[in-house]
Amino acid sequence: MVMKEIAAFHATSYHFLQTHKDGPEGFLKLCPDFGLTGWFAAPESDSRKSYEDLFFTFYQTIVDVVAHLAEGKDKDLVPKLEDYGKILFKRVDDVTGPAEHGFNVLNHNDLHMNNILYMYLIMTYTAIKSNNFNSPRKNKNGIIERLVLIDLQLAKYAKPAVDLVYFFGSSTSYKFRENHLDSLLRLYHSTLHKELKEFGYTTELYTFQQLLDDFQDCWPFGFTLSCAHIAVSVSSHEQFIQCTIQLLCLL
């Protein structure tokens, strides 16, 4: 359902940009915050240093955890992580911008599970049990009837894969991606074009291969955000509050 919702969001934003009286360029000129050159903050902005300090702290937490777990097992892993840390912010800036092929949309740009509201159709346990309790759309509370994306203040003009790698990096496991990534990307792609056809775009504007290429190109962003979310999830209550205050100060 998340893939369908974000595909509809992307298609709607594409149509909005294309039908803006001055086109995407005019919209970005009118609303320049949507066209940031960095993911969270432009390199020249006042908040950039604070943002880098906070996210590098998240990243270093993961490096320290991996160093402990990999001790005596993989001597190359930690140096690779440390080398990536040196180019982390430049790499993220490089991959979260608009695509050269031209299919760009307004991304949610902070798409993780805690920024999605779910509405459940409540059922009795007996009804759920008799209707395939193991279905991925069901849990002990009922059936997911609809969902809504929230927390849109970081929305940004970029390639659609920016949202996809963020979601898969922050909100899914490696095993889940191994089993379901291809089918979910195909669901996203088919829904995107179904929604675009509703707006009158009958030709394929964005091929599945372009989506795969963009996803692979953007994955460093997904990896970086996965580190940030894991670091927050393993932090103490006091550390979590401190990180939350720091993030709010950046907005």
| pLDDT at residue number 75 | 83
Q: Give the pLDDT of residue 133.
A: 47
pLDDT for position 221: 94
Band (120; pLDDT cuts 50, 70, 90): confident
pLDDT tens digits, 156-208? 999 999 999 999 999 999 999 999 999 999 999 999 999 999 999 999 999 99
pLDDT at residue 50, as a whole number: 80
pLDDT for residue 193: 98
Report the pLDDT value the prediction gives residue 235, as an integer from 0 to 100. 65
Does the pLDDT at position 137 exceed 60? no
Please report the pLDDT score of residue 29 as a whole number.
96
Backbone angles phi, psi at 61, to 5 degrees: -60, -45
CB atoms within 10 A of CB 19: 10
Is residue 136 over pLDDT 50? no
pLDDT band of 146, cuts 50, 70, 90: confident
Structure tokens belonging to residue 117: 């509201």
| Domains of the chain, residue spans | 2-110+152-250, 116-149
Of the candidates 144, 126, 122, 104, which has an alpha carbon nearest to the alpha carbon of residue 24? 104
Q: Does the structure show a pLDDT above 80 at 83? A: yes
Residue 170 φ then ψ, to 5°: -90, -25
Mean pLDDT of 229-237: 73
pLDDT of residue 251 exceeding 60: no
pLDDT in tens, 4-40: 999 999 999 999 999 999 999 999 999 999 998 888 7
Report yes or no: 99 and 128 within 8 Å, Cβ to Cβ: no
